[in-house]
Chain A
Amino acid sequence: MNCEKCQELISAYVDGDLSKGEARSFRTHLSVCMECSKLAEDFASIVGFCDEAFAEDSIPPNSQALWCRINNIIESEIEETPPVEEETAEEVPHRGFLSGTFSFSPAQAAASVLLIAVVSSLVTIVGYKNFAAPDDSIAGFEAEPSVFEKVLVRLGVAESPADKAQRRLEERKSAIDYWTKRVSKRRVEWDTGTRVTFDRNMDVIDKAVKQYTLLLKEDPQDEISTEMLDSALNEKMELLREFSEL
């Protein structure tokens, strides 16, 4: 089973919908793939949490008693409400426009509406940026961050390009460590030609990684070197992953 197939089956596995054979194959893959294993663990914990929360919320301990209490509270509040007196402009400077229980001024209401609009826009944009944008956009065609995006970064709501690059770098390195271990187990079985070819190609990639790492030490803001390092590490990961299948 490959990672793609495994990740498709995570949901069905957590729900117990897989056949015995599929479940066995799924577990075998999890035992050798850290990435999928972690994903399955996360997914299971989310589903578990949701189930617990839903169970607590949906079935109150005694629903009839709860409704009785709510009714009592409402009735007591109605009884205790003093008769409404005619209000003058001096007593209440401005009454809320919704009902007597609210006392927002139009300015406050407008500010609230504006705040809600801004927050929901922020959430939408951040969500879109984080989840909808393709990760492997074509190098060089990426648009410059807009002023709004820069503000989001300043506010700490969105990831800065440097943080994003650093996160990607860390992800790549941990994936490379994983695949290196897989390859070191497999390579003893390869024929000499395959081993020699693999090493030659790995040398070329490692040289590039070293070169860009040095360049970035001199100039950490060098975008082309950052991009090339990222792409060389990606190549390394791909080479390791594809040869680990042999």
Chain B
Amino acid sequence: MTLASYTRKYLKSAATATAFLFALAAFFAVSVTDVEAQRKFSRTYPASKNVRLQLTNRTGTITVRGWDRKTVQITAVLQKPIANLTPRNLSGTIVIDVVRDNKGRNEVGDVNFAVYVPYSSSIDIETRIGNLQVSSIQGGLVRAHISSEGDITLTNIGASSVSAKNVIGDIFYDGVFQPNGIYRFYSMQGNVNLRIPLKSSFKLVATAPSTRSISLGSFSNASMRFVGTGRRVIGKVGSGSATVNVTNQQGSISLLRR
């Protein structure tokens, strides 16, 4: 092998190594940027069975799940620009208000919450933009409000007072209607689907003025009457102990058998 070929081989391998090192550096740089673009927040509170969670978000998703522990675990992934977050425990109510904590800041990144609470908790969550999900809650109250757009999904709910509201987006409720409970679902544009047991007992007022699409499914009975040229259904299922009011200004309403 000549000196020239040695030199060429050496240079080639050096170039390959350099390229490899550059690629490695670039990979780490991207990874570090990714890590810096978001931050994780985590906190756990001891809680009584009847704890109340009051969470107000600016943008991002909120997922709340019931669990069989006497603690509240809050995890949040904060996107850049990182939001200020100062949860407070006020005599049995855990309060997180991202809107108030970041008032006056022009740009705040999404905050995606995942919260675990005892089954019997009361949940009051709202966001300006983003999806809300609540599951396995049997406490007194579930309130999920979106100021603008986002889907609301409430599953395995046994609360006696439920309120879900958004402007654009779907609302899905899968749970029971407790005797004397009050249930209210309101959307401007989207689909509202309620999945409840066949033996449910409730008074219903369902209004879908634009589409007139109100499907009662298995819950249709002789007491149900369409009024206002089909824009509203009023009636009773069973003894009618719970009160259910559903309004969807520009979308459909469906009652499904659980």
Range for the number of chain B residues in contact with chain A: 20 to 34
In the complex, what residue of chain B is closest to A241 when comparing beta carbons?
B147
Bound-complex Cα distance A33 to B188 (A): 28
Pair count A-B, CB < 8 A: 87
Does B103 sit at the interface, judged by CB under 8 A? Answer: yes
Q: Is the CB of B188 within 8 A of A242?
A: no
Contact A201 B249 (CB under 8 A): no
Would you give the 0/1 interface string for A214-246, flagging 1 where the beta carbon is closer than 8 Å to chain B? 000000001111011001100100110011011
Q: Are A197 and B245 in contact (CB under 8 A)?
A: no
Q: What number of A residues sit within 8 Å (CB to CB) of B?
A: 34
Given A191-B107, A200-B168, A204-B189, A140 and B205 contact (CB-CB distance below 8 Å): yes
What chain A residues lie within 8 Å of B129 (beta carbons)? 194, 197
With contact pairs A138-B243, A228-B209 given, residues A235 and B103 touching in the complex (Cβ less than 8 Å) = no
Q: Which residues of B contact A224 (CB under 8 A)?
A: 207, 209, 227-228, 231-232
If the complex has contacts A224-B231, A232-B188, A235-B167, are A243 and B245 also in contact, measured as CB distance less than 8 A? no
Which residue of chain B lies nearest to A234 when distances are taken between CB atoms in the complex?
B186
- Contact A198 to B249, CB < 8 A, known contacts A140-B234, A224-B232: no
Tell me if B58 counts as interface (CB < 8 A to partner A). Answer: yes
Main SS at interface, chain A: helix
Given contacts A140-B232, A141-B203, contact A239 B167 (CB under 8 A): yes
- C-alpha gap A189/B106 in the complex (Å): 5
Docked CA distance A140–B1 (Å): 96
CB-based nearest B residue for A232: B249
Option from A141, A194, A197 in Cβ contact (under 8 Å) with B243:
A141
Closest approach, in angstroms, between the C-beta of A33 and any C-beta of chain B? 15
User: Is A190 an interface position by the 8 A CB rule?
Assistant: yes
A139 & B247 in contact (Cβ 8 Å cutoff): yes
Determine which of B188, B205, B234, B245 lies in contact with A205 in the assembled complex, contact meaning CB atoms within 8 Å: B188
Partner of A139, one of B149, B188, B205, B227: B205
Q: B39 interface residue, CB < 8 Å from A?
A: no
Given A200-B148, A204-B189, A245-B99, 19 more A-B residue pairs with CB atoms under 8 Å apart are A139-B205, A141-B203, A190-B106, A191-B106, A191-B107, A194-B59, A200-B168, A201-B167, A204-B167, A204-B168, A204-B188, A208-B188, A208-B210, A224-B207, A224-B232, A228-B249, A231-B249, A232-B188, A243-B147
Instruction: Write 18 A-B pairs (CB below 8 A) sorted by A numbering.
Output: A138-B205, A139-B247, A140-B232, A193-B59, A197-B148, A198-B148, A204-B188, A204-B189, A204-B250, A208-B250, A211-B210, A225-B209, A231-B186, A231-B247, A235-B167, A239-B167, A243-B147, A246-B99
